[in-house]
Amino acid sequence: MAAQAKESGIGLAADWLFGYFIVFIRDSELSHRVFANVRPDAFQLTGHPFGRKLWGADNIIYKFGDEHKELRRRIAPNFTSRALSTYAAIQQRVILAHLRRWLDRSAAAGNKSMPLLVPFRDMNLETSQAVIVGPYLTEETTEMLHKDYSIFIGGIVAVPVDLPGFVFRRARLAGERLRRLLAECARESKARMRAGGEPECLADYGIQEMVRHIDEAANAGLPPPANTADENVASYLFDFLFAAQDNVTSLLCSAVSALETHPDVLARVRAEVATIWSPESGELITAEMIQEMKYTQAVAREVVRHRPPGPLAPHIALQPFQLTEWYTVPKGAMVFPSVYESSFQGFHSPETFDPDRFFSESRREDVAYKRNFLAFGAGAHQCVGQRYALYHLTLFIALFVTVAEFQRDRTERCDELLYVPTIVPRDGCAVYLKQRCAS
């Protein structure tokens, strides 16, 4: 439908597909019209055509108006500079441990190429669970989380048959178990934050302020504030777990592919990082160091623009909606604003991977074409974790290019994109790896 929308000249295409009426939106401004009208009498963001069953009906993406604003306000402390600094130390320990493992495996295999997609996925699952609820996981619950998350991911691309024995049913049940596990983590975090503990993970940063509001309400004889029950907290923690896992895995594959294909960009990143941090120093990269890596940050932003991990933002039309003067979206239609198509509109030579568009003071394409940069959505439901995603991507790029030499295993069609449901290279980003630094 992307080709149809482009050929139409009107920025969209509509047709029946698998029994559903689909509206595919290519034009950035029309996408903004959808993002700006997520409300009971217009559109509902779904994240997935059958997301309510998979993520649960209480998920943040299904909330509207004041309730949605209040929940986002409660989540805001999770992404302060102080919180991101805490996460950076956790992320690095996990990333460096996995890098050591990959380099050893590559050397033991006689330097054969290694697809990084699955290793990235494993690393990101460990990173995200450590960042989100790490202190509250045991060895046993960590294993349970890994197992159930793998089952859940299988359901996202499965035929949506919610009957015993089908992949979708197993995924739905795995999602329920994951939310129960995260609710228990939330319960433990509340107890520790109430006792005056210092935040050590993402859950703690949001819950620290939350327990104060709960206790103030209790002292005043009032019920707990909305969205503060353990199950509510588990719902948004589950969101973060998913977004920090598959979306970031897609971005890491895209970053490695882009850097290997553009040696001039790779050289500039390595030179910048070398002036700020050395792996031989024995020290971790600090939040202040990441802020100094301006070009590396620009590379991360260009990776997101060039290869947005979630290419579509599924919505459902809850009522007929007049999208343009001449077209009304019918009630019940699945509406897909394409953040991928939008990323290639307006920008100078949009097909080219060019971090300078976000780095050069004279170009400032991040300002000029801000409305086309929709990888994190827009409007009230814009991704709350975008700062975390860019922070993590910048940190990984700095570590990876400094510690490892890498070269893509160039096979036929290796760079073709697969949708699973995030975008990844067909070959799983296969590379030859060897250690670059002395230690």
What residues form the annotated binding site? 383
Spatial strand order in the sheet of 404-408: 114-115, 430-435, 404-408
391/403 Cα distance (integer angstroms)? 18
46/52 Cα distance (integer angstroms)? 7
- Feature table: binding site for heme: 383
Could you tell me if 187 and 179 are in contact, meaning their C-beta atoms sit under 8 angstroms apart? no
Give the burial class of 217: count Cβ atoms within 10 A of its Cβ; 0-12 exposed, 13-18 middle, 19 or more buried: middle
Whole-number Cα distances in Å, 437 to 82, 91, 401, 404, 421: 30, 20, 10, 7, 35
Within 325-434, residue ranges assigned H as helices are 339-342, 356-359, 365-368, 386-403
Ramachandran category for residue 227: left, alpha or beta (phi over 0 → left; psi -120 to 50 → alpha): left
142/128 Cα distance (integer angstroms)? 12
Which residues, 6+ apart, have CB-to-CB distance to 124 below 8 Å?
244, 245, 246, 248, 249, 252
Could you tell me if 213 and 101 are in contact, meaning their C-beta atoms sit under 8 angstroms apart? no
- CA dihedral over 135, 139, 143, 146, signed as positive or negative: positive
